[in-house]
Amino acid sequence: MRGKRVGVDQAVRDREFTEFAVARAEHLRRTAYLMCGDWHRAQDLTQIALAKAYAAWHRIHGDGGVDAYVRQIVVREFLSQQRRRSWHERPSDELPEQGLAGGQEQADLRLSLLAALERLSPKRRAVVVLRYWEDRSVEETAAVLRMSRSAVKSASLRALADLRVLLGEDLTV
């Protein structure tokens, strides 16, 4: 009897999860792409996040928290991967010199916003994506990134300033 109940629960879970995943996977993959700049890596990040959401479905489902949970996993997994890679790539929290030099010449290059995003440090990129692509509040962004609200605001301001320099134009957020 109990086995049958469990079977029904799992069937419901699978159906609910699949509906969610089909509906949200494309948006999640785009969010992941904005952070990592690579579609294949974005696909991996999305699948990992969805798989973890499935494993936690019983406690995140029903209170509207699934979207927030999956978004959090995507961002944290991305940053975790960046940290592991950083032993080799050593990304800097500051923009490369050539990215900022020669303001007028830089403006003439007309970087795309996506290309400019890639030049930000991973954490600042995550802040920008959460705040202005996902439209998350400072508090939500801080919770996802395990940062203080003030650090989020500071990172956001600096990232936008960097983007304005890189793009050589006004940036409306």
Partner 1 sequence: MTSEESFHDRIEDELAGLRPPPIGEIAGDALAQGRRIRRRQRALGVAGGTAAVAGVAAGALALGGVFGSGGGAPVGPGAWGAAPTSQHSSAATPTPTPTPTPDPTPAYPSTPTPPPNSSSPNTVIGTIPASWKPPAADGHLSDPTNTDGQSVAELLIDDLSQIGSGGSGSAFSGSSLAGMNANATLTWTMPHGSVRISASVSDGAADGKTPQSQCLPAFEMDYCAAATLSDGSVVMVQHNSGGYAAGSSQSTHNTMVMITRPDHAAINVVEWSDGPLTDDQLYKIVSDPRWGLKMDGSFVTHADKVVRPFSGG
Interface ranges with partner 1 (CB under 8 A)? 14, 17-18, 21-22, 25-26, 29-30, 33-34, 39-40, 43, 46-48, 50-60, 63-65, 68-69, 72, 83-84, 87, 112-114, 132-133, 135, 137-140, 143-144, 146, 148-151, 153-154, 157-158, 167, 169-173
Measured distance CA(80)–CA(45) in Å, rounded: 11
Residue 93 vs 101, nearer CB to partner 1: 93
User: Could you give the angle at the alpha carbon of 119 between the alpha carbons of 89 and 141, nearest 5°?
Assistant: 95
d(CA 159, CA 147): 15
Nearer to partner 1, 95 or 167 (CB): 167
**What is the signed CA dihedral for 117, 119, 122, 123, rounded to 10 degrees?**
-70
Q: Minimum Å distance from CB 1 to partner 1?
A: 20
Least gap, CB of 20 to partner 1 (angstroms)? 8
Cβ 133 to partner 1 shortest distance, Å: 6
